């Protein structure tokens, strides 16, 4: 059960632990301390964890992805598994859609990622 719980997205873990309403309220009120506390309670973060990427996803901080790598963006957004599945399925449209969701929209970057995964059929 721990492996299943650990693989759930932040949202689903909050929902499963019954804290989603509290978290949504903290987000709505832009209460960063409360959001951090709730994420700590469900084991998403510990005292040493850099919380800013998660808070950026929920709009509590500006510049969501900043200088993050592709993998960091996918992990923080909860889309890493979906991305890997799309690569495995050779589903180019899904891969591109996921890349756009994590703000990788530059055509050259998208093409490079597709090439790296032997999916380049762009244009």
pLDDT digits (tens, 9 = 90+) for 2-17: 444 444 577 778 888 8
E strand or H helix at 111: helix 107-116
Q: Which two tokens stand for residue 75?
A: 């992990």
Nearest to 6 by CA among 43, 34, 38: 43
CB 81 within 8 A of CB 110: no
pTM > 0.85: no
CB atoms within 10 A of CB 10: 19
Q: What was the pLDDT predicted at 106? A: 87
User: What confidence score (pLDDT) does residue 51 get?
Assistant: 60
The pLDDT tens digits for 46-104 are 655 556 566 666 665 555 676 778 888 888 788 899 999 999 999 999 999 999 888 88
Rounded-to-integer distance, Cα 8 and Cα 5, Å = 5
């Amino acid at each position: 059960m721990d492996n299943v719980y650990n693989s759930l997205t932040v949202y689903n873990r909050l929902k499963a632990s019954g804290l989603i309403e509290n978290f949504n309220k903290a987000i709505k009120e832009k209460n960063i301390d409360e959001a951090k506390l709730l994420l700590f309670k469900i084991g998403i973060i510990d005292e040493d964890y850099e919380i800013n990427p998660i808070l950026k996803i929920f709009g509590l901080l500006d510049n969501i992805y900043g200088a993050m790598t592709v993998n960091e963006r996918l992990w923080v957004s909860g889309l890493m598994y979906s991305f890997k599945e799309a690569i495995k399925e050779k589903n180019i449209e899904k891969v591109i859609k996921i890349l756009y969701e994590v703000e990788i929209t530059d055509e050259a970057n998208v093409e490079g990622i597709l090439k790296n995964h032997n999916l380049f059929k762009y244009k």
